Amino acid sequence: MGIKTSLLVLMLYLVPQADLKTVNGEVIQIQNGDTLTLKTDRDKLHKVRLADIDAPEMGQPFGKSALRLATDLAMGKTVRVNYILKDKYKRLIGEVFLPDGKLLNEEMLKSGLAWHYRVKNPHSSFLEKLEYKAWKKNLGLWIQKKPVPPWEFRRENRLPSPPAIPKNMDYDLFLAYGLLGNPKTRIYEWPECKGYPKNPKGYINFGSLLDAEILGYRASRRCETDE
């Protein structure tokens, strides 16, 4: 059943033959450093979650700074959003192109006000470099000695169960699902499985069971399912 990993540069997740979609509109609200709402010329509203980055939550240090930067860069602007998937909240998970052609996703990383959200495979070396440069210069949140990643800040005491299908996936909980696939054995498992890998280096992150199955992975026999 599923994964949710891909790159937005013609493959936001590892879903085969995913169709890139585009929507244009005016940004009418900025919820935080990685989420906004735009209105099309037909007055249709879309909530957008910036792909491949994760900005500090509002209750974290630099959460308000990330909100201010996103507001300065995008509020009231007409933008283009390239996306492939929507998550369970109907948010478009995509890249936001500003009027000057720059990517809002990248601008947040460059300023040190977002982390590279490593959920696609392979990871984007370009985004990794942007994050590294911001860290090297102590920009934004990187001035902290031990900054807490937003996905860790959001983590609850009880890990969420991985969704069966992509449309039920919460993009913000992608890493919290802990749904991992071993490229060598083509087997996937999650934290509730017995013998779950403690050092998952080289594994692939999935966001739903279905996508893993589509890519030829099968669930470990050590995992219990509802089926």
User: Residues with catalytic annotation?
Assistant: 49, 57, 91
> How many residues would you count in the chain?
227
Contact between 162 and 206 (Cβ < 8 Å): yes
The DSSP 8-state label assigned to residue 7 in this structure reads B
What residues does 78 pair with on adjacent strands? 26
Non-local CB neighbours of 98 within 8 Å, separated by 6+ positions:
73, 74, 77, 79, 104, 107
Q: Is 214 helix (H, G, I), strand (E, B) or coil?
A: helix
> 76 is written with which tokens?
């009231």
Measure the CA–CA gap between 21 and 134, rounded to whole angstroms: 30
Q: Measure CA of the first residue to CA of the last residue in the chain; give whole Å.
A: 12
Contact between 62 and 136 (Cβ < 8 Å): no
Q: How are beta strands 179-182 and 21-32 bridged, if at all?
A: unpaired
The DSSP 8-state label assigned to residue 86 in this structure reads E
Total Cβ atoms within 10 A of residue 170? 17
